[in-house]
Structure 1
Amino acid sequence: MEAVRAQEESGHDGTAMLWSIQEALERQTLQIGASACGATAVVDVLKALGVDVAPEEADRCVKTHLRRNDSPLPDYLLSRSEAGATHAQLIQGAEQASNGEVIGRFFHLYPRRQVKLVPWLAHWIQKGAVPVATMNMQLAVPEGEEVPDAWHHQLIFGVAPNAVFMTNPLDLVSEEELHQRLCSESVLLIRREDVLQRWMPDCSLCGLSEHKVDPRWSALDVEGQVRLMVLEKEPEQQTHIRIPAAYSSGVTLFARRQSQLGQELLRAPELDLL
């Protein structure tokens, strides 16, 4: 099993690697489709655990949601709030695509938890677990860069002191930067241009405010945010609106169901609140 090699490759300095950087370059799966970062991560999770699955099958099992770009504004915003996949879809998708051989366990990192991220990840990687981060990429944006348009799932193939290595794209981020993105309330920023190009004078947003399944649409006053943006004379004042997001920020750890590690993951307690 590929992930078991983590124990052999882990050092005594807090370094733990599922793959070397060269192996990650050769083995990582690049984005397999629109909004399919979750399904892409599942392909690599299964690969790391010795289960080969076609990307199309992984995507089918994860049930990736797409943006409804041609819809009127209210339905477009609803589609944006769930576009892609949640951690629950990743867990279900990995289990289904592996015929029940692989299980996942999600650990919430919001609200903030009593955890040192890199040592915690190293602990599980050394045992052979395969982590996937579910992150709000709209946080910890480097100065001068544009705010990203979405959340993101990335497989973590290794850690070192104050460094986390991820795939799709192959990336190295600091522990602090990653922790900020992993500790986020479930909200999504929608760009001004994406709102205004779908706004029509007769557009009714009442359905969002009266959303019976998710009262956060009313709590965030999405309808009021849109109307303020439409009336605004100075565009730079309101570059985004905030809408509810279906995703929760945190880390999903995957393992073989029948392994001792798999059972340990299922029994592991939630991380304590700070």
Structure 2
Amino acid sequence: MEAVCEQVHGGGEEEGEEEEEGEEAMLWSFQEAVERQTQQIGASACGATAVVDVLKALGVDVAPEDADRCVQTRLRRPEAPLPDYLLSRSHAGATHAQLIRGAREASGGKVAGRFFHLHPRRRVGLVRWLARWIRKGAVPVATMNMQLAAPEGEEVPDAWHHQLVFGVAPGAVFMTNPLDVGSEEEVHQRLCSESVLLIRREDVLQRLTPDCCLSSLSDPLWKALDIEGQVRQMALEEERGPDRPKSAHVTIPAAYRSGVTLFALRESGLGRELLEAPELPLL
């Protein structure tokens, strides 16, 4: 992290530096982020963890268990049969709506949130847009599909993720839980995702039994992705032997929407501005 910070703030006055100064804004310094960030408070509770830090940044102290109760984090059901397991995966954790409600309830109505969709693609410079709101005092939380922009050679992550954004600099976004920096391009890609989730092959096959019936997954979103057909294909691939190509994942609908939730004190001028702000324009 320190090396990256040095790289972002490194010396040298390049052309356009004055313009880029408008793209830097910090809620916390790096040292403050180290000291103040909340580590993941429980399974699938990245959303509730982000809410704890949002309230902290806005001067409202709330116990992590109270934030989690207000967010109503949903858990995976790993011991369930395949259809119920897939349903649990599609809702595990929290949506941006749960974060907004959780922050409002945990703060006793003092904090309001506003979600900005970034999918489909919007006409926005992500870092510059975040910097403008951070300088006004808003606290951003990014809801990202971490299965996009996975580093080459690394395993595709298993979930979406909510992270508080404690600052931005030209080309960089700084986040907590874990303390991390992402390039603007990488973060923007993860913030612009369809609402789908990849389920690992082994997680499907170990729950696939001869009497498994996926017809109960009858919601139009599930039908559109042909979950039954995907699982059937995966089972056929097993029968064809170890040397044949195999599907790595089954794609299911996800409850989440990719984008950024901005939080502020409800009764402040900023709170009113947030709630009245228009959606970001489509490309």
Q: Determine if the TM-score, normalized by the shorter chain, exceeds 0.5.
A: yes
Distance 2:90 2:23 in 1: 37
Opposite residue 172 of structure 2, the aligned amino acid is A
Opposite residue 62 of structure 2, the aligned amino acid is V
Question: What per-residue deviation string (whole Å, max 9, x for no partner) do you get for residues 75-128 of structure 1?
Answer: 000000000000000000000000000000000000000000000000000000
Structure 2 residue corresponding to 1:93, chosen from 99, 102, 107? 102
Question: Is 1:195 the equivalent of 2:195?
Answer: no
Shift of 1:231: 1.1
Structure 2: any 5+ residue segments left out of the alignment?
Answer: 1-19
Q: Give the equivalent residue in structure 2 for 1:68.
A: 77
Distance 1:148 1:107 in 2: 24
Structure 2 residue corresponding to 1:231, chosen from 215, 223, 236? 236
Question: Is 1:122 the equivalent of 2:131?
Answer: yes
Q: Give the equivalent residue in structure 1 for 2:143.
A: 134
Shift of 1:12: 3.4
The correspondence of residues 27-42 of structure 1 with structure 2, limited to 5 A, is 27-42=36-51
Contact 2:22 2:128 in 1 (8 A): no
Distance 2:235 2:146 in 1: 26
Contact 2:144 2:161 in 1 (8 A): yes
Shift of 1:200: 0.2
Q: Tell me the SS of whatever aligns to 1:12.
A: helix
Q: Give the equivalent residue in structure 2 for 1:221.
A: 226
Opposite residue 204 of structure 1, the aligned amino acid is C
Structure 1: any 5+ residue segments left out of the alignment?
Answer: 1-10
The correspondence of residues 1-274 of structure 1 with structure 2, limited to 5 A, is 12-208=21-217, 210-211=218-219, 215-232=220-237, 233=240, 236-274=245-283
Shift of 1:222: 0.6
Question: What per-residue deviation string (whole Å, max 9, x for no partner) do you get for residues 224-263 of structure 1?
Answer: 1011101113574201000000000000000000000000
TM-score by length of 2: 0.91
Q: Tell me the SS of whatever aligns to 1:269.
A: coil
Task: Give the aligned CA root-mean-square deviation in angstroms.
Answer: 1.0
- Identity value in percent: 77
Distance 1:224 1:137 in 2: 25
Distance 2:195 2:41 in 1: 25
Structure 1 runs (4+) greater than 2 angstroms displaced: 233-237
Distance 2:64 2:129 in 1: 29
Distance 1:130 1:228 in 2: 44
Distance 1:87 1:216 in 2: 20
